[in-house]
């Protein structure tokens, strides 16, 4: 019998505010509220509870990196 292991990546996103259905996050460096698009995702490499990696949003916005 063959067993197939299903792994699923988890995404953890921190959002400070939602305006017009757009999630915003406050950058801790420039202290500006920016849409989540300005923060990329990073792969944390931690094994989540479904066996996949955990993806989290970057803490600093694009212009601060
Ligand atoms: Zn910033």
pLDDT tens per residue across span 31-52: 999 999 999 988 888 888 888 8
41 is written with which tokens? 């995702």
| Centroid of ligand 1 to alpha carbon of 46 (angstroms) | 25
Rounded CA-CA distance 36/7 in Å is 26
Q: What is the pLDDT of residue 1?
A: 66
Q: Where are the domains of the chain?
A: 8-64
Q: What is the pLDDT of residue 22?
A: 93
Burial (0-12, 13-18, 19+ Cβ within 10 Å), 37: exposed
Is pLDDT larger for residue 62 or for residue 14? Answer: 62
Q: What is the pLDDT of residue 12?
A: 87
Rounded CA-CA distance 25/34 in Å is 5
| Centroid of ligand 1 to alpha carbon of 60 (angstroms) | 5
| Centroid of ligand 1 to alpha carbon of 56 (angstroms) | 17
Burial (0-12, 13-18, 19+ Cβ within 10 Å), 23: middle
> What CATH number belongs to 8-64?
3.30.60
| Centroid of ligand 1 to alpha carbon of 2 (angstroms) | 49
Q: What is the pLDDT of residues 13-24, one digit of tens each?
A: 889 999 999 999
Cβ neighbours around 25 below 10 Å, total? 22
């Amino acid at each position: 019998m063959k067993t197939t292991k299903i792994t699923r990546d988890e995404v953890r996103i921190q959002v400070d505010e939602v305006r017009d259905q757009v999630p915003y996050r406050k950058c801790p460096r420039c202290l500006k509220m920016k849409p989540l698009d300005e923060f990329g995702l990073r792969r944390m490499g931690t094994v989540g509870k479904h066996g996949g990696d955990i993806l989290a949003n970057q803490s600093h916005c694009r212009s601060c990196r």
